Amino acid sequence: MTQSQWSSRGGRRLRAAIAVTGIAAACLGVLPAASASAAPRIVVPGSLWIENGAFTNFVLCADATDQSVLLESTQAAANNLYCQWMQIGPDSQFGLWNLGKNQVMAYTGGNQGAVVMEQSGSSGLGSNAEQWSWGGQEDWGAYALQSFYDSGQNVDAMSPGGDYPRTDAVHTRGWRHGYQRELTWNKVAAQ
């Protein structure tokens, strides 16, 4: 099977899985609690937080107002559908579908390229730009979140101004440019 056949087939599988997962999320995720006084639980069963390896109290979230991907504190992310993800596919090649945005996370190309939200199948770079892979586990216990389109580009949590969590839209960065811990992530059950 050629790379283009795999990419096309992978993209079709990703879109089909997103449709099924979206229906399940709609049915399971926002049902009100049994007690009238309790707040509704808006954590979809099986959804993930993508938590940073350096800033462990920060997770990836889709921006509700535009197509950006941002970092949010775990406190701000609690019960927030825009911070909940479904990994669709194996760790070697998968899509990250956001429950609040109902879109996939995508790489836009180049070193320090923006990470954005878009409709599945709409990337100008092709379906591989909408897919990701987990690198090997690092000494500190986290994994590089790599673009499948360009495995040298990793999702970066570090602020361009220094070694603290970024407050602007998330971009990618090459592994050899600066600290690596900020390029690593863990998937944990959403809360």
Task: Report the C-alpha gap between 127 and 8 in whole angstroms.
Answer: 7
Question: Residue 48 pLDDT more than 50?
Answer: yes
129: in domain? yes
How many domains are there within the chain?
A: 1
Task: Report the C-alpha gap between 100 and 178 in whole angstroms.
Answer: 32
Residue 179 sits in a domain whose CATH number is 2.80.10.50
Q: Which amino acid is at 135?
A: G
112: in domain? yes
Q: Per-residue pLDDT tens for 11-45?
A: 554 454 444 444 444 434 433 333 334 445 688 99
Percentage of the chain lying above the pLDDT 90 cut:
72
The chain-wide mean pLDDT, for the chain, equals 84
In Å, what is the CA distance from 191 to each residue of 41, 42, 87, 137, 147?
Answer: 10, 9, 16, 23, 26
The predicted model gives 76-104 an average pLDDT of 97
In Å, what is the CA distance from 37 to each residue of 34, 44, 73, 80, 180?
Answer: 9, 20, 27, 20, 46
DSSP-derived 3-state class of residue 53: coil
Q: Name the token pair of 51.
A: 């938590």
Q: Name the token pair of 133.
A: 């892979």
71: in domain? yes
Q: Per-residue pLDDT tens for 118-155?
A: 999 999 999 999 999 999 999 999 999 999 999 999 99
Domain that holds residue 124: 3-31+42-189
pLDDT score of 26: 43
pLDDT score of 12: 52
Provide the 10 A C-beta neighbour count for residue 132.
30
Question: Residue 90 pLDDT more than 60?
Answer: yes
Of 29 and 48, more confident: 48
pLDDT score of 162: 85
118: in domain? yes
pLDDT score of 35: 34
153: in domain? yes
pTM of this prediction?
0.80
Question: Residue 4 pLDDT more than 80?
Answer: no
CB proximity list for 11: less than 8 A, separation 6 or greater: 120, 121, 126, 127, 130
18: in domain? yes
- Give residue 45's Cα distance to chain centre: 17
180: in domain? yes
Q: Which amino acid is at 109?
A: G
Task: Report the C-alpha gap between 80 and 156 in whole angstroms.
Answer: 21
Q: Which amino acid is at 39?
A: A
37: in domain? no
Task: Assess contact for 108 and 117: CB atoms under 8 A.
Answer: no
Q: Which amino acid is at 28?
A: L
